[in-house]
DNA sequence: ACCCTCACCTGCACGC
DNA sequence: TGCGTGCAGGTGAGGG
């Protein structure tokens, strides 16, 4: 269920755990996980691949392989990676298995079956369908105040749905959208172009702020091979949200009960007094 | 170009 | 206990 910071933390853990290791064989257990491949071709493409490093673009996890290929993986809502040893059984909903050197294997598990994988030539990585249209990374120089201001100015969409559009702002998901708009005191229903200049700047900085909070937590994360990077979402962070999931609780600034609305089938949480 | 709704799946928490 | 409902941190497709 991760957004960009959680994916970033998963990626750092994966990199530490499998950089320099070899995928001897790979098994695609659920065909639809990698719709571009048959089970046979998936295995063939990944056989005997050394993992140079693991990185990411947006919420996509990228395994850079020494064969000139990159394995792209997206966790969507419920995907997880774990490393298991020979005496540990596959969990329910195991959709792909990568047998490493030694007796260990990297397992991709996904209860809701929304995740997906693809294998592409590394030279054309950023031209692939998954990555070609993504907006600049939120911590890059390219994602500048000017970029953000121009983006909002040109848009007639409501700001919440604009923030979730990965081709416009990359890495923000449903939680961070609510959190950032709350910090910047922006009403989620407001047309992006109508937001004041001051609030545009505040929102730009709030997006980085909320993501950075989680990234900092990730610095001290314990490596958990059974749930790679997973310690960061779930229990401990949940209590930290300012507004997300807190319908009916008092706003921390003005005590008005926090509201929940639905935008495009997804929940948004807000304080209608503080966010005008 | 945009908005809306549905779709993909399973599991969990809730109220009756 | 069981069953129905609504919800879940993502995204794509199809129709208007």
Q: Which nucleotide is nearest to A111 (CA to C1')?
A: B10
- Asked if A3 is an active-site residue, the reply is yes
Q: How far apart are the first and last CA of chain A?
A: 29
Report residues 192-231 of A contacting strand C, contact meaning Cβ closer than 7 Å: none
> Residue-wise pLDDT tens for chain A (276 aa)?
689 999 999 999 999 999 999 999 999 999 999 999 999 999 999 999 999 999 999 999 999 999 999 999 999 999 999 999 999 999 999 999 999 999 999 999 999 999 999 999 999 999 999 999 999 999 999 999 999 999 999 999 999 999 999 999 999 999 999 999 999 999 999 999 999 999 999 999 999 999 999 999 888 788 888 889 877 765 444 567 999 999 999 999 999 999 999 999 999 999 999 999
pTM value is: 0.96
**Two tokens at A231?**
């310690």
Query: Does A4-132 match A145-241 in CATH topology?
Result: no
Domain A4-132 is found in CATH 1.10.10.10: no
Angle, alpha carbons A222-A170-A276 (nearest 5°): 105
**Two tokens at A195?**
């937001």
CATH class of A145-241: mainly alpha
A267 forms beta bridges with A262
A30 CB inside 7 Å of strand B: no
- Hey, where are the domains in chain A? 4-132, 145-241
């Amino acid at each position: 269920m991760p957004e960009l910071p959680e994916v970033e933390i998963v990626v750092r853990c994966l990199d530490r755990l499998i950089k320099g290791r070899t995928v001897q064989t790979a098994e695609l257990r659920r065909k639809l996980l990698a719709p571009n491949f048959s089970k046979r071709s998936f295995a063939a493409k990944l056989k005997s691949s050394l993992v140079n490093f693991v990185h990411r673009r947006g919420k996509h996890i990228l395994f850079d392989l020494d064969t000139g290929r990159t394995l792209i993986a997206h966790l969507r809502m419920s995907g997880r990676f774990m490393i298991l040893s020979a005496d540990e059984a596959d969990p329910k909903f195991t959709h792909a298995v990568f047998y490493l050197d030694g007796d260990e294997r990297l397992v991709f598990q996904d209860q809701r079956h929304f995740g997906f994988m693809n294998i592409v030539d590394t030279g054309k990585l950023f031209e692939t369908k998954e990555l070609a249209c993504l907006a600049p990374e939120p911590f890059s120089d390219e994602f500048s105040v000017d970029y953000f201001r121009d983006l909002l100015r040109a848009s007639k969409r409501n700001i919440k749905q604009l923030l979730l559009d990965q081709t416009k702002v990359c890495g923000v998901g449903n939680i961070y959208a609510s959190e950032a708009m709350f910090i910047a005191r922006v009403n989620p229903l407001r047309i992006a172009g109508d937001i004041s200049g001051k609030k545009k700047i505040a929102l730009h900085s709030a997006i980085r702020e909320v993501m950075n909070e989680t990234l900092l937590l990730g610095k001290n994360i314990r490596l958990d091979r059974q749930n790679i990077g997973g310690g960061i979402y779930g229990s401990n962070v949940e209590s930290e949200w300012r507004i997300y999931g807190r319908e009916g609780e008092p706003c921390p600034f003005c005590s008005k009960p926090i509201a929940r609305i639905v935008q495009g089938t997804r929940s948004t949480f807000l304080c209608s007094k503080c966010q005008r």
